[in-house]
Each structure stands twice: as structure tokens, then as C-alpha cells.
Amino acid sequence: MDTISSLFNPDSVAVIGASHAPGKIGHSILKNIVASGFAGTIYPVNPAGGELLGHTCYKSIEDIPGPVDIACTAVPARMVHDAVLESALKGVKYNLIITSGFSETGNIEEEKKLVQTAHAHGMRIIGPNIFGLYSAEASMDATFGTGNITPGSVAIITQSGALGLAMIGKSGVESIGLSAIVSVGNKCDIDESDLLEYLVQQQRTRVILMYIEGIKQGERFIRALKKATRVKPVVVIKSGRSARGAAAAASHTGSLAGADEIVDAILHQCGALRADSIAEAFSWCTYLAHAPAPATEQTVIVTNGGGVGVMATDACECYEIPMYNDSEALRDIFAPVTPSYGSTKNPIDITGGAAAPEYSQALDAALDHEKIGAAMALYCETAVFPAAELEAMLEDTHRRYNERGRPVLFAAVGGEDIENAILRLRKKNVPVFNDVYQAVACMGKLFEHYRQKRCRCDTFEDSDIDTASIDAITAEARTAGRSFLSAHESREIMRIIGIKMPASCVARSLDEALARCDDIGFPLVMKVVSQDIIHKSDAGGVVLDLNDTGEVIDAWQAINQRCLAYLPGARIDGIELSAMIEPGVETIVGARRDPVFGPIAMFGQGGIYVEVMKDVSFRALPLNRLEILAMMKQTRSYPLLLGVRGEAKKDIEGVLEAIIKVGALVRACDYISDIEINPLVVFEENAGVNALDVRILLETQRKEQP
């Protein structure tokens, strides 16, 4: 199969179903291809033959005299397979199937047939159910959009066709130049990962914007996205929450891993910038496409109004933009341009009397200072500084900053003159917004992109897993089709992978209990073992902090009496004795096999309130230490591990190791669907961690579920 580059740079294109009737989709596609100035050969195909928009119309694909790189198919669904077969036999490389009425309406088998037929002859398919493709490289608009796409450097990959068409229109209004826009529709063959891989190495494309509803091959997508964000910014709008995550609620990791939480965590982990709306995505894309890489993130804000300065400062905090705050240096730099009633503290308030010269001087002073990496200028419309002068000043400042490779952006708030000036400036790629928050967000996203590029590394942490021993322990459960491992089996696995659990045994008689006390060590905990009693504490089946054999004898009798009183006739299989663990921070550590993204890890606040607190974070495996630490830091309770209220710092390294081990386990043993340690008690630094309870589920679990 050919490389995907000829999809974006074809020498020839056929439109199958090129209608003679203006207004029909096949006609519109042909019209756009012709109007966009495509320099290759254009072959309309229609049974009526004749001529169409100045091109010979062929009655069938096989009648076309020369080779055909891509075909756009816009005939009714029942005719698509024949068109696919004929174009594949003709040697077409890519077939863009515009037609709807396949898997999206339940016509799954017919869609599969299209792929089989195409692949049998080395042809690849985009779609079906798409609006087509625009490629600035080929000057080819093979879509049924409104036409007149401005060429530029933002590439859009969209799953929603209608939204894609709307984005074409909006890109014109917002003066966003596109390098490509392509719709993937039902993704029966080529998907967003294939397109990402191509666009990331395409010179013309500086930013990629993706609109995604559902992801089919999650692990592949993760790889493609991680690679792409190393090279250029990728902004993702992901919609469509599904019930997928709720399907495996047998473990906390499962029930806490809502589909959107996972997607959000993974997009972040892959270095993508997730936007909530098209407006947000478009403003980030336009800025990121032209902004230089920041040398340092220290930023100054120059404003003529205190209010917008405060708003911008708040927004900076939200987007993690460090504001330059060396007050002495700030005074030296800005005092010459700031009236005595202004402020040289960042945000620099050059006051309402400021006009173009004051702004220019202040921004130039910032530009000349090597410790200041970026600047934002905010402007509230005033009579002393009219929009016309502002326009020239912003354009000029932007040019100076660009020449020196420093990021700058502007927000201007005012009336019609300002709005019109903004529109004109944006056409010249001057980053100016009518909203302070939007402007700051763009700077924040610029920093986020470069920060993630700097901080990522490719070496993943792994742990050697003795799979032969684990296979042996799980063999019985797997043969019996059990969906979970027993406490004993789980404990054995913990021992093999090297996660400490408290010493423990189950005694069937008081004599046995007394004989085992020394092995366990005092103080110890006793817990009833009964299949009938689920909530042991409620039944009085748990006694803590036993310090000698006398207390063990009393506890043995008390547990038996209380449990039988709680549930007369309950079968008591014995009493578990385990070492009493010192108090520490209770965390939850887990790993599971996500149906879309494959193995993922979880970390969070542990204990009995996990479901209520929902203070957890996720990442796709494998992970490196930095990523694990970032996952841990994302939780609200992370500061507990650093030590609060005078407490000592906890063994963060121990937690990290435990996450690496459970992650490696799930990756090494594909029959393990979930593993969850709750609580994993974390002691002081270098004192380790201890897994009090472990639950391991096997893959059959998922298959049993609807």
C-alpha cells in the first residue's frame, strides 16, 4: 500500500457520482475541486457521460484513461460496493466514501465488505459518511463545504462531518488558515491515528485540531498522539460520554474510571491540549500556529486598567502562567513609563492616560529584559487612545516580539471600532482577543505545550514479573472460570511481585490461633472469616490492638458470640489473625485493562470512602517515574504524603514502586483484568508501604457482563 501522502497530494482525482444537477452533493464536490485550483487531473464519473464543469465526464470508472490516485464516492449506499470494487480494480489508491447509511445506521456488514474488497486490491478507504478532504498542499477542496477555504497552517481531523463543514465556515470568519481538513466518519479503515502520523511530519501543518467522538483503537491512538505532541501542538475536542467505564464496577478502579475521566487523563498524559468548545479550540490553534517557543515562562502584563489586570492575574493562576515578580527589577524597567499613581508591580498599570507611545515603551522595556519571557498587553478603550492608533501599535509590537522570538498577545475591550480593529488584526495573524480570559488561556496553552515537551521522556518503568509463578497460582481459578482470586491467591501474587502485606493466617480453632500468635507478632488484629458475614465490623467480627495471648482468648470468644448473635446460624470458617499495622496515609493503587485504551493505572485517596471522595487519577500504562508522580500530584490528597500539620513526609517512593509493580502485573498477565490495593498504607519516608487489602479480578469477569 502507498504512503498516505498521496491522499493529501494526489495527481488525479475522480468524483464518482458527479451529478449534473447543481445542489447535489456529487456536483458540489466536483465544483469545489475545480474552484479550489487543483492542478492535477479531474475525472467526473456519471452514467450520463457528457461534460461537467469543463471536464469530460466518464460513464464508468474503467473508462477513465489515466491512473487515479483518489476517488470521492457520492452515489447512494446500495451502489457504493460496486463503485469500491471498480475503483479498486482501476488501481485507485484512496477512496473517500461520502455516502451515509453504513455502520452508523447499523449497516455494519456492508461496511466490512467495503473494507475487504478495497484491501484485497490494495486500496484504502476514508469514511464512509464523510464530507471529504481539503488539502492546501494540493490546493484541492474535495468537500461539499461552502468553498473558499483560506490556506494556512492548522490541520483539522474531525469525526463529525457536519461539524467539520461548520468549522470550514467558521475558520473563514475567524481568519484561520487551514493546511488540511479531513473527516474520518465511520473510520472503517483509515482513522485519526493514520492521519495524525502523516500530518505531524507535514511541514505546512503547524497545529493539529481533532474533533473526536469515540476512539476505536485506543492503544494505537495513544502512541500516535504521544509522538505527535512531541513535534507540534495537538488540540483535541472530545465529546460523547459513554457508559463504558461503568460496565466493570466490580472494583473501585472500574467504577471510578468513568469514560470521560480516562479520556481526559490520557489526553493530558499524551500532551494534547483538550478544549471544551470550538471557539476555545480555534483561538488556541490560531495562537499556537504562529507563536514562538518561550525561552522562559516569566510573563508580564501591561494594562491601562486595574480591573482587566486583576482578571488576567486570576486567569494566569488558573493556566499556571508564572508572573515575573522581581519587584526591584520591575520598578527599574517600568518606572520610566508609569505615572506615580500607576503601578510597577506585575500587572503593570500604566493607567488610563496611556496611549500608543506609553504602551510601546513599556512593552519594549519588557522585550529588552532577558528574564522576561513573554508579555500580554491589555487595553480598555479610552478617548485618549483611539482604536486606529491601537491597531498600528499592536501590529508593530507583534512584529518586534516575533523578530526576537518572544511570545506576546493582546486583549482589547471596547466598542465597534475596537471589534473591527481586532478583525483586521487577526487577518494579519496578530494575536488579539476581545476577552482577557481567552487571551491568557492561549498563553497558558502555549506554555503547557512546550512544558510537556520538555518534561517527557521515553523510558518507561517496568518491573520483572515472574509470570510462570503467577500462572501457577491462578491456574485453578482460571480453569474453574472464576472471575476473582481468593484472598490467599491474591496475597501470594503480592508476595511474588514484592508488595508487602501484613503477616496473617486463618486459625480454625483457638488452640491454632494461640500457636500462631508468635509467627504473626503482637500487637495483632483478629477478623471473623465467614462467607455469610460481609460487613465484619458491623457484626462485631473485628477486634484490633491485641497485645498478648490473654487478649487473644477473650477476643476469640467475643467474636464468635457477637457474630452468632448478629446472624444466628452463620457459618464461621475461622478467625484471621494479622499483624496490626502502624497508622499511615491510606491510599488506593490499582491497574486495570480498559476496553479502549488497554492497561491503565490508578492512584488516589484510599480507605472506605474512596467512592464518595472520588479523589483518584488515571494514566495509560506503561509509565515513567515523572508520569507516575504527575498522576499522584493530580489528586487533592497528595499533600498528605508530603506531610501536613508538622507530620513527617511519607514514603512517596514506596507508592511509586507499588504503582510500577501492579502496572507491570496487568501488562504481563493478560488474564488479569483488575488489581486493586485498598488501602495501601504509606508510612514515613523510607519506612515503606503495606497493602492491607488486595482484590484481583480475572478477565472472565468482563465477558460475563452485559
Task: Give me the residues that bind ligand COA (CB under 6 A), please.
Answer: 16-17, 19-21, 24-26, 45-48, 74-77, 79, 83, 98-101, 129-131, 161-162
Is 556 within 8 Å of 510 (Cβ atoms)?
yes
Cα 397 from chain centre: 35
- Looking at the Cβ atoms of 79 and 475, the one nearer to ligand COA is 79
Smallest separation (angstroms) from ligand COA to the CB of 66: 18
Q: Is the dihedral of CA 429, 435, 441, 444 positive or negative?
A: positive
Report the distance separating Cα 321 and Cα 297, nearest Å.
7
Closest distance to ligand COA from the beta carbon of 157 (Å): 14
User: Distance between CA 248 and CA 595 in Å, rounded?
Assistant: 10
Q: Rounded to the nearest whole angstrom, what is the least distance from the CB of residue 302 to ligand COA in the complex?
A: 45
The nearest distance, CB 83 to ligand COA, in angstroms, is 6
Please, which residue, 145 or 342, has the CB nearer to ligand COA?
145
Q: Which is nearer to ligand COA, 163 or 477 (CB)?
A: 163
Minimum separation from the CB atom of position 361 to ligand COA (A)? 52
Handedness of CA 453, 454, 457, 461 (dihedral sign): negative
Is 162 or 231 the residue whose CB approaches ligand COA more closely? 162
Smallest separation (angstroms) from ligand COA to the CB of 267: 24
Tell me the three cell numbers of residue 616.
Answer: 483518584
Give the nearest distance from C-beta 58 to ligand COA in angstroms.
9
CA 634 to chain centre: 14
| Least distance (Å) between residue 650 CB and ligand COA | 53
Nearest by Cα to 16 from 46, 50, 49, 52: 46
Q: Which residues pair with 524 in a beta bridge?
A: 546, 579
Beta pairing partners, 674? 592, 697
Evaluate whether 182 touches 158 at the Cβ level (below 8 Å).
Answer: yes
How many angstroms separate the CA atoms of 512 and 339, rounded?
Answer: 86
Q: Give the type of residue at 311.
A: M
DSSP 645: T
Nearer to ligand COA, 65 or 583 (CB): 65
The grid coordinates listed for 63 are: 473508462
Report in angstroms how near the CB of residue 188 gets to ligand COA at its nearest: 13
Residue nearest to ligand COA (CB): 161
Q: Judged by CB, which is closer to ligand COA: 19, or 304? A: 19
Smallest gap from Cβ 86 to ligand COA, in A, equals 8
In terms of CB distance, is 48 or 246 closer to ligand COA?
A: 48
Residue 682 bridge partners (DSSP): 585, 689
Helix-helix angle 278-290:161-173, to 10 degrees: 60
Q: What is the rounded CA–CA span in Å between residue 339 and residue 648? A: 49
Nine-digit cell at 188?
472503517
Report the residue number, 99 or 605, with the smaller CB distance to ligand COA. Answer: 99
Cell of 118: 478495497
Q: In terms of CB distance, is 161 or 654 closer to ligand COA?
A: 161
Nearer to ligand COA, 7 or 337 (CB): 7
Neighbours of 373 (CB within 10 A): 20
Rounded CA-CA distance 516/503 in Å is 11
